[in-house]
């Protein structure tokens, strides 16, 4: 427990310092605790220590944890790639889906949400760096995806998400975060009646730089829970 207490304290401190440097409050930045392979007991402890938003990469793993951790204030975000055959379960389970990267996926979410009489909150995933290993729509195709997604009555677009290239030098990926913010600002001008407040960017290695560039959500796993287990 002492280890997790200190890890959470350090992450919150770094978030607050980065927010101050960007002229914002720490309250403007949501820490999403990434819990892939993290056991439910440790997630429960993190919740008791004040973390309330948890991010999962896979629908099935997340649903088993949700069943075990039915706390009143807990929120679950899907941060990994979503296959269309998992859409129905994702709509039923998550408070926010970060990884909408095609019109086809947006339409599948619309169909599933409409069938359930609900609205699904999403972010559009953008592959800013152009890495072949990364999911996401490219910047040139983003306006068309945004326009189509905004037409869907049961899909609520709240902003953008990106995954920067892995690096041990955070300054190297600052341009990626800056470009996503610029893309968001351009969409805000083009579609002013819609909310574009959310920018999900930054992970353990680079979240401070992401916050300085405008991140409102940072996805942090290793800095909170240590190295990921490979046993699961």
Decide: helix, strand or coil at residue 130. Answer: coil
Angle at 14 between CA 126 and CA 216, to 5 degrees: 35
pLDDT 10s digit of each residue in the chain, 232 long? 679 999 999 999 999 999 999 999 999 999 999 999 999 999 999 999 999 999 999 999 999 999 999 999 999 999 999 999 999 999 999 999 999 999 999 999 999 999 999 999 999 999 999 898 899 999 999 999 999 999 999 999 999 999 999 988 999 999 999 999 999 999 999 999 888 999 999 999 999 999 999 999 999 999 999 987 554 3
Q: What is the pLDDT of residue 47?
A: 98
Q: What is the pLDDT of residue 1?
A: 62
Q: For residues 113 and 149, give the distance between their C-alpha atoms in angstroms, rounded to a whole number.
A: 13
Q: What is the pLDDT of residue 231?
A: 43
Long-range contacts of 132-138 (CB under 8 A, 24+ apart): 134/163, 135/81, 135/99, 135/101, 135/163, 136/99, 136/101, 136/161, 136/162, 136/163, 137/101, 137/102
Q: What is the pLDDT of residue 232?
A: 38
Task: Report domain extents, the chain.
Answer: 2-225
Q: For residues 203 and 104, give the distance between their C-alpha atoms in angstroms, rounded to a whole number.
A: 28
Q: Which helix (H) or strand (E) holds 199?
A: strand 198-200
* Buried b or exposed e, range 100-110, using 16+ CB within 10 angstroms: bbbbebbbbbb
Q: What is the pLDDT of residue 227?
A: 81
Q: For residues 74 and 101, give the distance between their C-alpha atoms in angstroms, rounded to a whole number.
A: 26
What's the CATH code, domain 2-225? 3.20.20.10
pTM summary value = 0.95
Structure tokens at 37: 């392979």
Could you tell me if 61 and 43 are in contact, meaning their C-beta atoms sit under 8 angstroms apart?
no
Q: What is the pLDDT of residue 16?
A: 98
Q: For residues 55 and 18, give the distance between their C-alpha atoms in angstroms, rounded to a whole number.
A: 21
């Amino acid at each position: 427990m002492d280890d997790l207490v200190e890890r959470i304290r350090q992450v919150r401190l770094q978030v607050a310092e980065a927010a101050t440097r960007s002229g914002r409050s720490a309250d403007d930045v949501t820490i999403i605790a990434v819990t892939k392979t993290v056991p439910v007991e440790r997630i429960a402890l993190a919740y008791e220590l004040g973390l309330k938003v948890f991010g999962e990469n896979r629908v099935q793993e997340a649903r088993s944890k949700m069943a075990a951790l039915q706390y009143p204030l807990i929120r679950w975000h899907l941060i990994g790639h979503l296959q269309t055959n998992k859409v129905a379960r994702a709509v039923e389970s998550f408070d926010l889906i970060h990884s909408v990267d095609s019109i086809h996926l947006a339409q599948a979410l619309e169909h599933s949400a409409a069938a359930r009489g609900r609205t699904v909150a999403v972010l559009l995933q953008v592959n800013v760096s152009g890495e072949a290993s990364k999911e996401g729509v490219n910047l040139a195709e983003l306006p068309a995806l945004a326009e189509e997604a905004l037409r869907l009555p049961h899909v609520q677009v709240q902003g953008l998400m990106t995954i920067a290239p892995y690096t041990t030098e955070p300054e190297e990926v600052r341009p990626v975060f800056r470009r996503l913010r610029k893309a968001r600002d351009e969409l805000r001008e083009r579609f002013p009646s819609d909310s574009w407040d959310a920018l999900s960017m930054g992970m353990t290695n680079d979240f401070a730089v992401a916050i300085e560039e405008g991140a409102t959500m940072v996805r942090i796993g290793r800095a909170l829970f240590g190295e990921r287990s490979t046993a699961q």
